[in-house]
Amino acid sequence: MSMTNHKMFYVSWEAFHRASRELAARLLTGGYDRILAVSRGGLVPATILARELNIRLLDTICIASYQHDQQGALSVLKGCDWVDDSKLLIVDDLVDTGETAKVLKQQFPKATLATVYAKPLGKPLVDVYVTDIEQATWIQLPWDTELSYTAPLAEQQQLP
């Protein structure tokens, strides 16, 4: 999906942290003993979940499916060799088309897949998520943006 002609959804650090803690609350009684973060988007929520669920065993699986704002071919750059996935929590920032989720579900069929955001095409593959997002929406996550000065409206208007 390209950002051109799509809705934009901007997420602040505070909003992302709050949503990640809500995800942790939904997972609190799951009995997980380790977290697999999907790099890169899953790194931040995985860290928050690790703290909130008091889990110290974390690893990453590195999957690339986007080049800037375009979704492309899926590529597993680094795998994970954990065999027992019965108490495994896999964490990503969002599920979009579900292609990454399919790969994860094939490799770790007993694991729980959790995301902060879910779009309709990928939602059926996620076990737990917090926020529904329309398919044609591009999410601007806080690590992809920066704050900048905005002039007051009175200074932005051109007077005759």
Say whether 93 is catalytic.
yes
Q: What pLDDT shows up at residue 127? A: 98
Say whether 96 is catalytic.
yes
The continuous run of DSSP H or E covering 35 comes out as: strand 34-39
Catalytic position from the list 81, 92, 127, 132: 92
Domain boundaries, the chain: 9-145
- Any idea how long the chain is? 160
Topology of domain 9-145 in CATH is Rossmann fold (3.40.50)
Q: Which residues contact 22 (CB under 8 A, 6 or more apart)?
A: 130
pLDDT (tens digit, 9 = 90+) per residue, 7-64?
999 999 999 999 999 999 999 999 999 999 999 999 999 999 999 999 999 999 988 8
Catalytic position from the list 93, 127, 132, 144: 93
What's this model's pTM, rounded to 2 decimal places?
Answer: 0.84
Using alpha carbons only, give the angle 76, 95, 20 rounded to the nearest 5 degrees: 110
Residue with tokens 């989720």: 101
Q: Which residues contact 100 (CB under 8 A, 6 or more apart)?
A: 38, 63, 65, 74, 92
Say whether 69 is catalytic.
no
